[in-house]
Structure 1
Amino acid sequence: MATENLRKIIEHKKRETLLNFILKREFKGKLISRIIYFDTPLGEKILIFCARPRLVLGKANENLEKILNICKRIGFKNPQIEAVPVENPLLDANIVADLIASKIERQGARAARKIAMNISESVMKAGAIGIEIRITGKVIGERSSTIRIQKGKMKKSGEINKIFGTAISHAFLPQGSVGVKVKILPPNATLMDNIRIKEYNELDLEKLEKIDPRIIDILNKKYNITGQP
Structure 2
Amino acid sequence: MAMEKHFIQEGVIRSEIENYLKEEVSRAGYSGINIQKTPLATRIILYVENPPLVIGKKGRRIKGLTEHLKNLYNVENPVVDVQKIEKPTLDPNIIARRIALALERGMHRRRVAYKALRAVMESRARGVEIVLSGKIVGKGGRSRVEKYSEGYMKKAGDSLKLVQMGSTQAYLKAGVIGVTVKIVLPETKFPDQISVIEASKPQEPEPEDVKPEKKSKKKTAKKTKKKSETKKKAEAEEKDESASEKPLQET
TM-score class, shorter-chain normalisation, is: 0.7 to 0.9
Number of the residue aligned with 1:125: 122
- The two structures have a TM-score, normalised by structure 2, of 0.69
Retained in 2: the 8 A contact 1:97–1:167? yes
> Per the alignment, in what secondary structure is the counterpart of residue 170 of structure 1?
strand
Partner of 1:185: 184
**How far 1:165 moved relative to its partner?**
0.9
CA contact (8 A) 1:29 1:102 kept: no
- Tell me the distance in 2 between the aligned counterparts of 1:137 and 1:164: 24
Identify unmatched segments of 5+ residues in structure 2: 203-251
Structure 1 residues 118 and 191, CA gap change in structure 2 (3 angstroms):
same
Counterpart position of 2:108:
111
Is residue 92 of structure 1 aligned with residue 104 of structure 2? no
> SS of the residue aligned with 1:63?
helix
Alignment partners' CA distance in 2, 1:192 and 1:6 = 34
Please name the residue that 2:81 is paired with.
82
Which range is displaced more, 35-44 or 120-129? 35-44
Distance 1:56 1:138 in 2: 33
Residue identity opposite 2:73 in structure 1 = I
Paired residues in the alignment total 198
State whether residues 50 and 84 of structure 2, in contact with CA within 8 Å, keep that contact through their aligned partners in structure 1.
Answer: yes
How do 1:26-175 and structure 2 match up within 5 A?
A: 26-72=24-70, 73-105=72-104, 107-108=105-106, 110-142=107-139, 143=141, 144-175=143-174
- Whether the 8 Å CA contact 1:164–1:185 is kept in 2: the answer is yes
Whole-angstrom CA distance in 1 between matches of 2:199 and 2:7: 47
Structure 1 counterpart SS, 2:171: strand
Aligned residue type for 1:84: Q
1:218 aligned partner: none
Structure 1 unaligned runs (5+)? 202-222, 224-229
Percent identity (aligned): 30
Please say which structure displays the higher CA radius of gyration: 2
TM-score, normalised via structure 1 length: 0.75
**Aligned partner letter, 1:27:** V
Which moved further from structure 2: 78-87 or 135-144? Answer: 135-144
Q: What amino acid is the match of 2:113?
A: A
